[in-house]
Amino acid sequence: MSNQLAGKVALVTGGSRGIGAAIVRRLASDGANVAFSYAASEDRAKALAAEIEKAGGTALPIKADSADADAVKAAVAQTVDRLGRIDILVNNAGIHIGGVADDYNIADFDRMIAVNVRAVIVAVQAALPHMGEGSRIITTGSITADRSGFAGSSVYSMTKRDVAAMTRGLARDLGSRGITVNTVQPGPIETDMIADQAQRAMVRPLMAIGRLGKDAEVASLVAYLAGPESSFVTGAALTIDGGYLA
């Protein structure tokens, strides 16, 4: 435990599993009091909160579907009500619904936009009144913002490119307030999104270091951006991909 975030309050959306859960664990281990939202994985959310509490930390699970703007706002309000403020906002909630262009379901398109893009600005707007100088906003993007890589990822890639563009604009909007805004762009990571072993075997040769990433490795980059040493980093899209784009 570094305690670099001691006394800080963090809200992580989509924090019950995968990269989100790793971020929750890391921020808590660095001393932050962490609230996190989840849409459906209630058992995982409760188990994660219990794990952090057992280790001496503070974790507040909040049920909130990021596709629902009102639920996102309510998650922010509950965090502030229970923990007092928000110093670190991590927009991690995201979904991937693949499909090729000629038969892509528009309802899936709308849901991808709602979760991957709209929820980010909704959370930012709701959190800003409770954030002061030195606060951090971090969003989980994807290397698909720069390279789709495979057929069927056009809409997902678009949403992640939107996140990177929004990050640059928000950095300009909030820089004078001393609030930094950054995006992390993971490459292939060993999570539920790439759960199939055949998929992993297909992707592995494309990695410069010959393996997929770990969720804890992404969390370490988020922890850096959340901490005091990153105070001069803003408006950046930081790739963490094991050389996939190299």
48-88: pLDDT as tens digits: 999 999 999 999 999 999 999 999 999 999 999 999 999 99
Q: What is the pLDDT of residue 121?
A: 98
Question: What's the gap between Cα 6 and its chain centre?
Answer: 21
167-216: pLDDT as tens digits: 999 999 999 999 999 999 999 998 776 667 777 887 888 899 999 999 99
**Angle at which helices 18-29 and 42-54 pack, to 10 degrees?**
20
Domain 9-240 homologous superfamily, CATH: NAD(P)-binding Rossmann-like Domain (3.40.50.720)
- N-to-C CA span, the chain: 33
231-246: pLDDT as tens digits: 999 999 999 999 999 9
**Angle at which helices 106-113 and 154-174 pack, to 10 degrees?**
30
Going from N- to C-terminal start, the domains of the chain cover: 9-240
143-155: pLDDT as tens digits: 999 998 888 999 9
Provide the whole-model pTM.
0.95
pLDDT of 1 higher than 70: no
Active site residue 38: no
Strands across the sheet with 33-38, in order? 59-63, 33-38, 9-13, 88-91, 136-140, 180-186, 237-240
Tell me the pLDDT band of 218, cut-offs 50, 70 and 90: very high
Question: Using H for helix, E for strand and C for coil, what is the string for 51-116?
Answer: HHHHCCCCEEEEECCCCCHHHHHHHHHHHHHHHCCCCEEEECCCCCCCCCHHHCCHHHHHHHHHHH
Select which of 38, 156, 224, 244 is catalytic.
Answer: 156
Q: How far apart are CA 60 and CA 51, in angstroms?
A: 12
| Radius of gyration of the chain, Cα coordinates, nearest whole angstrom | 17
Phi, psi of 113 (to 5 degrees): -60, -45
4-17: pLDDT as tens digits: 999 999 999 999 99
Question: What is the rounded (10 degree) CA torsion for 78, 140, 8, 21?
Answer: 70
